Amino acid sequence: MPRPIRFIPGWKHILLFAAPIAIALGALAAAYLYATSANAAPTTQNAPTNAALEVPPQPGLLVHVVGAVANPGLYRVPRGGRVYDAIAAAGGLSPDADLAKLPNLAGRLKDGEQVKVAFAKTTSGATVARTNLNTATLDELEAIPGFSEAFAQDVIDYRTNFGGFQNTRELVDILGMSEAEYVIARRYLTL
């Protein structure tokens, strides 16, 4: 005849205290695992945007630098900053800046101010017309010195496939324009 299994005497009292403790420990372990896996989730990266339209983070003054600078656009400078700081943030003066008509470099900046840097005039007295590398048509690109019809088409193809240029130097680095042609063409280009 089989014998029934007998538990420890008073096992119901032990179970009454041990079960809630075991459930609480399991809940704590699950919460810990959930928190650590949420922190380890990979961050998503945003698609590249147009640097000229991208607004920098909040602290400081927001100024708009235009004209004969290396990278015109919106920049944040520290409060109390000078016009010199804004031009430096835009990459400095371009080679075709008119040094006789610079804004007051020591002037204090105000939030929302636009800093304009004049272009130098050519020997004939006309200003150099600039073509936007990211929006120009095929005919406009062909008019730039150093651009052939095929190279202008390469520029449009690159712009279409890769979302535009971040810097005019990419003409040399990516599309293979010669240094001599680039030195001449960069005076006629902007982004």
In this structure, which amino acid lies at residue 21?
I
CB 119 within 8 A of CB 95: no
The CATH homologous superfamily of the domain defined by 131-190 = Photosystem II 12 kDa extrinsic protein (1.10.150.320)
Ordered by start, the domain boundaries in the chain are 61-117, 131-190
- pLDDT digit string (tens) for the chain, length 191 residues: 666 666 666 667 777 778 889 899 999 998 888 888 766 655 555 555 565 566 655 678 889 998 888 888 889 898 889 998 999 899 888 888 887 788 888 899 998 899 988 887 655 555 556 777 878 788 778 777 777 888 888 888 888 888 888 887 888 887 778 777 777 777 778 77
Return the pLDDT at 45: 54
The counts of H helices and E strands in the chain are: 6, 5
Name the nearest CA neighbour of 141 among 124, 158, 155, 162. Answer: 155
Burial status of residue 21 (CB atoms within 10 A of its CB: 0-12, 13-18, 19 or more) = exposed
